[in-house]
Chains A and B, each alone.
Chain A
Amino acid sequence: MKKILVACGTAVATSTVVAKKLEEALKARGFAVSIDQCKASEVPSKAAAYDVIVSTTEVDGTAGKPLIRTLSFLTGIGIDADIEKIAGFLK
């Protein structure tokens, strides 16, 4: 089971949208993932326990874990490319 951390400004609004869509999309591609949400300010201290970090805003350090910064889940433009990119890190 791969672990993904989704960060945004509040850990409430945009990250919920990203987390839910990502979960659906990755499930459809056959990945078993567990997704958690956090605030951007919490990423540096939490990142170590995850495989991939996805964020809608700038984050300050991810403990060496791959970071995908994306707005596509919110704007609807380029979602598939971003999902492919994230899936690539999970293989």
Chain B
Amino acid sequence: MTLESSVRYILGLGPAVMMPLFITLLGLLFRQGFQKSFRAGLTAGAGFIAVGLVVGLLVNVVGPKAMAFATVLGLKLDILDVGWPMGAAVSFASPIAAALIPIVLGLNVVLVVVKFTRTIDVDIWNYWHFIYTGALIHAATQSMPLGILGACLTAMIIFKLADWTAPVVEKHFGLPGISLPHTETLNWAPLMFGLERIWAHVPGLAKLEADPKAVRAKLGILGEPLFMGAILGILLGALGAIPLWREGKYGAWAKDILTLSVTMAAVLIVLPKMVAILMEGLIPISEGAREYLQKRFPGRDLLIGLDAAVVIGHPANMAIALLCVPIMLLLAVVLPGNRMLPFGDLAALPFYILWGVAAARGNMVRGLLNAIVVLVLILWIGTSLGPLTTELAKAAGFSPQGMGAGAEAYTQWSGVALGSHVVPWMVLKLFQPGARWQGVLALTGFFGVWYWVRRSPSEEPVKEAPAPAEADAKDEAAKDAPP
């Protein structure tokens, strides 16, 4: 056996076998002992198999049935939002994952040593955002080094954004010493602070406010994945089964709708539980990495980088996310250029809109406006990432093909979470042959806005309505005054 063919054989074993192998190795690297590391690796492999079982439901039932409504209505919605759990699973399954975990960690150490960043990112689980970036670039360019470079570039931008927004995490969310280097949420921050600058010029807008409690009391049930899936199933099922109704098959019509309803509820509660098994397998690496990082820098004034999950429970954030569920579905239907049907991540919307609401310092009205801008961009970016994401899913053995009836209606996978990867998308474009100018343009705009609002997160939070008129006036005066 030549070296090349043995490498190909090992990679060909598939993620369920590769993951236990690379997690055991990483566990040993972080001195977690063989038994603990091997148990973790095997757990992750089992989690991966478990995810695969739920994929069967997605592929055979939810996908074709949910997407059938698009055909009935004559819409071009052929990309299914499979949700962030699938994005994470596909990323950890990609061949670049094993290399990127230690590389990004090492990069983090170096960047802290040279004082480029104050954030030590102990949230190894969400390294999947960086891995996804690398995997996308790898798939687009067939170059592993470019994939790694792109992932590192993304990580550097995210660490900087995490430092920059730490004052908001401390003052608005009340968590001192914490930053949130969570790519898919944090990369919205500059744009959101930019929008706040614009809203400040709209007369009367600063004084508007709504009560998050009232929204949650009325719509709270929508935030529970079980009910969200069931309601969505009834809505999409009723539309998709219109042909049966026309044929007069009322019994079959009702059965179709109810089956889809329960199945969609099932996917939304089962898939996260399966991914949690995979997550459990990453705990020893995550622990080892955290100890390693914290041991290196005792006593320095550093920020511990955590998952944005620790702040999404903010009342205004949860309330706006509920309002966003129907808005996003409506946008998916009416937005020109969108081909993605939101589904898997509808229960995770509190994440993607997080910085829209945080930039508005919890103001419901401006928070919602910011969130809607995020939703629109997510649909476009999610649509744009469809082909490459589908390719990654196929490589992981989760093929959205061969689905039988209804398959023609839906051909690709993407996700709301994946569409929320703004920085990774820009970096991908930068490396993608023929699309470089888009990457250059987007990144220039991104850094331009960031520079424009560079002082926003450290400014004192504007008081809740109806007081902010004074603060806004001061802000405007400062900007208009000659230097």
A interface residues, Cβ below 8 angstroms from B: 8-14, 16-17, 20, 37, 39-42, 44-45, 55-60, 71, 74-77
Instruction: Decide if A71 touches B175 in the complex (CB within 8 Å).
Output: yes
- B216→A60 contact, CB < 8 A: yes
Tell me which residues across on chain A come within 8 A of B348, comparing CB atoms.
Answer: 9-10
Q: How far is the CB of A20 from chain B (nearest CB, A)?
A: 6
Please determine whether B126 and A17 come into contact, CB atoms closer than 8 angstroms: no
B220 lies within 8 A of A12 (CB): no
Chain B hits for A41, CB < 8 A: 220, 223-224, 318, 347, 350
> Judging by beta carbons under 8 Å apart, are B315 and A58 in contact?
yes
Using CB atoms, name the residue of chain B closest to A8: B309
A75 neighbours in B (Cβ, 8 Å):
122, 177-178, 304, 306
**How many A-B pairs fall under 8 Å by CB?**
100
Q: Which of A12, A45, A59 contacts B276 (CB 8 A)?
A: A12
Which residues on B are within 8 Å of A, measured CB to CB?
A: 84-85, 122-123, 125-126, 175, 177-178, 216, 220, 223-225, 272-273, 275-276, 279-280, 283, 286, 290-291, 294, 304, 306-315, 318, 347-348, 350-351
Main secondary structure on chain B at its contact with chain A? helix
- 22 contacts across the A-B interface (CB closer than 8 A): A8-B307, A9-B307, A10-B272, A10-B309, A10-B348, A12-B279, A13-B307, A13-B309, A14-B307, A16-B276, A41-B220, A41-B223, A45-B224, A56-B309, A57-B312, A57-B313, A58-B315, A60-B216, A60-B220, A74-B307, A75-B178, A76-B291
Residues of chain A within 8 A of B177, CB atoms compared = 75
Pair A60/B306 contact, Cβ less than 8 Å: no
Contact of A42 among B175, B224, B294 (CB under 8 A): B224
> How close is B5's CB to chain A, nearest CB, in angstroms?
38
Known: A44-B220, A71-B178. A9 touches B313 (CB 8 A): yes
A75 to B373, CA, bound (A): 33
Bound-complex Cα distance A10 to B344 (A): 12
Question: How far is it, in angstroms, between the C-alpha of A8 and the C-alpha of B348 when the chains are bound?
Answer: 12
| Chain A positions within 8 Å of B225 at CB level | 39, 42
Distance of A17 Cα from B188 Cα, bound (Å): 27
Chain B residues within an 8 Å CB radius of A39: 223-225, 347
